[in-house]
Amino acid sequence: MREIVLDTETTGFEPTEGDRIVEIGAVELFNHLPTGRTYHQYINPMRAMPTAAFEVHGLGDDFLRNHPVFKDIGKAFLDFIGDAQLVIHNAAFDMKFLNHELAAIGLPTLPMARATDTLLIARQKFPGSPASLDALCRRFGIDNSAREKHGALLDSEILAEVYLELVGGRQPDFGLNPAAQANSAGSTQGADAWRPRPRPTPLAPRLTDAEIAAHALFVDKLGEAAIWKKRL
């Protein structure tokens, strides 16, 4: 299963009032494991950065004016996320900005059904407790010391760790579905596509001859109905 953990930074709170996306960061997961593939893009909002927003993420006018506008990166962003499920903290906020930007340049928008909201998961799992990204990092013991200001890619990387804790811990699933498995690029392969290879040099036995003989004697004493006899 391919998922994209995603975050945006913006000039404010409401795209219909002229606020724009200034940064997108995304991390690819496959079967709940990071693949190492990321997407990161700063975006020129074509407007002045409000002081309140600058204090949150530190992205100013002089820096952003040297980066592309959204219409120049929108297609590449959609190509990266493909048809993967999106994992977002407070998904309603990011989705309304992404869809506003996409619609403005005539690209397909993203249905809310594609968004898994970690904020809602956290509130359901820990009712009454703080559910901010920083609070969840403290709860799960995740190091967020590098998060002096909000940054879309760093926040996506941290959110990926938080998400895996929220859905049951950082261990991957065992991939027991025999039908098909998807690789990190999104293609599918049958379960027979991979088989363990034999060791080039077999491991040396760790049992002594005396231990093997003692075990055989013990099994003989169990009688013919013993389960050991059926498995040997």
Q: How far is CA 27 from CA 2, 7, 58, 155, 158, in A?
A: 11, 9, 21, 10, 10
What angle do the packed helices 118-125 and 152-166 form, to 10 degrees? Answer: 40
CA 75 to CA 99: how far, in whole Å? 13
Q: Which of 40, 67, 150, 215 is catalytic?
A: 150
Q: What are 68's two structure tokens?
A: 């592309």
Q: Which of 172, 196, 191 is nearest to 180 (CA)?
A: 191
**Strands 181-182 and 188-189, bridge-based pairing:** antiparallel
Q: For residue 81, what are the contacts with CB-CB under 8 A and spacing of at least 6?
A: 4, 6, 26, 39
Q: What are 29's two structure tokens?
A: 């997961």
Rounded to the nearest 5 percent, the helix, strand and coil shares of the chain are: 40, 15, 45
* Catalytic residue check, 150: yes
CB 219 within 8 A of CB 232: yes
SS3 132: coil
Catalytic positions, please? 150
